[in-house]
Structure 1
Amino acid sequence: MSVLYNLDSYVLLVLWLLGIPVGLYAFVHALMQRSDAFTAADKLTKPVWCAITGVGLAILAISTSGPYSFLWLIGIIAVLIYIVDVRPRVVEIQQGPRW
């Protein structure tokens, strides 16, 4: 039974550690985009998404107890919402149609 507990701990640790560079990528990506692309994609404004991803990254980086506090889940969810939902629409708006 302790092997399963240790495996669970290692999986959470890996997810937490992978969340930090993903959060950094999302924050930098949000900073580098044009502000009109966010409103054209019917998403929140650029400063709001920069704040959301920045706070998410800060939560991931500052979380002192690592994956055991589950506060980092708030940060990773905020970052993943940007990566999965907002980023593709903003990139699509800036690149134009694919055809």
Structure 2
Amino acid sequence: MKRRRRGRPPRKELTDAQRLAIEIMVWHWKTVRTHEDVAKRCGISRIALYKWRTRNKRFQREYDREMKRYLNVTRPRLRYSRNDLLSDFKLLEKAMTTWLN
């Protein structure tokens, strides 16, 4: 005989507060520094946010997926600017060597 689990059955989808928390933590991390601030903006307690982050597999999966989307959006810009800096540095180095010789 199977033991019956106590409490509510797990939800199949994330709640609106969970989606909002993920969006704030991923996309607005520069303006919202602490998890307490995230919880206040979502209208939940910081303990609830902590439980979602540590125990809720669906929340963790969705957070990871959103973080990958964020990195895919921001990374190409960083790579592009680094390449620009390298090419500018090479041009400057070439100009300096011709000027010094």
TM-score for the superposition, normalised by structure 2 = 0.31
TM-score for the superposition, normalised by structure 1 = 0.31
**Larger Rg over CA atoms:** 2
Point out the structure with the larger helix share: 1
Higher relative contact order (CA 8 A, sep 6+): 1
